[in-house]
Homo-oligomer: A and B are copies of this chain.
């Protein structure tokens, strides 16, 4: 129901904003395709929202869920399981990314779309960049998460700080020695880049 209402609102808004020339083309196949894509996007986000609600009700973790879509089909779902699994990395996005990669037998999600109920925290955004999806849809913002007690916005602020100003001390140590492994990597002929 919520999805349907949103689609109507989006259509109204887009009609009002659309210039006359474009408006006259609104029944063309390309436009219908865009509209269909919007409706599908909403269906996937609606599923993610449903999962996030279930996750709170079941007590498995925070109010977050993610679905990953390839070729118009959901290939993986994830919910936040930090407290129930004692795994601070078990955010919805990480859980879904690991599941999608397991299913596809790959460590990249190049043609996939990620639908997540909250703007990814820096950890999850980093994971998203490593997996290289086509795009990410998100619902709540990092600021919304901050208002209910999550530290996403704080961690974004910290990451933007130089090393020396961060709240968790970051101390350089033994760089020269550690370069050995980097040289070994460069010299390895059968290395698999990622």
Contact = CB atoms under 8 A, between A and B. Distances in A.
A104 to B, nearest CB: 8
B88 A173 contact: no
B130 A108 contact: no
Nearest to A175: B139
Interface string A3-17: 100100000000000
Contact of A188 (B45, B56, B89, B194): B56
A185 B139 contact: no
B97 A42 contact: no
A23 interface: no
Contacts of A131: 88
Given A155-B129, A173-B42, A184-B53, A178 B148 contact: no
A22 interface: no
Interface of A: 2-3, 6, 41-42, 45-46, 48-49, 52-53, 55-57, 59, 62-65, 82-83, 86-89, 94, 97-98, 101-102, 105-108, 115, 117-119, 121-141, 144-145, 147-149, 151, 154-156, 158-160, 163, 168-175, 177-182, 184-186, 188, 190-194
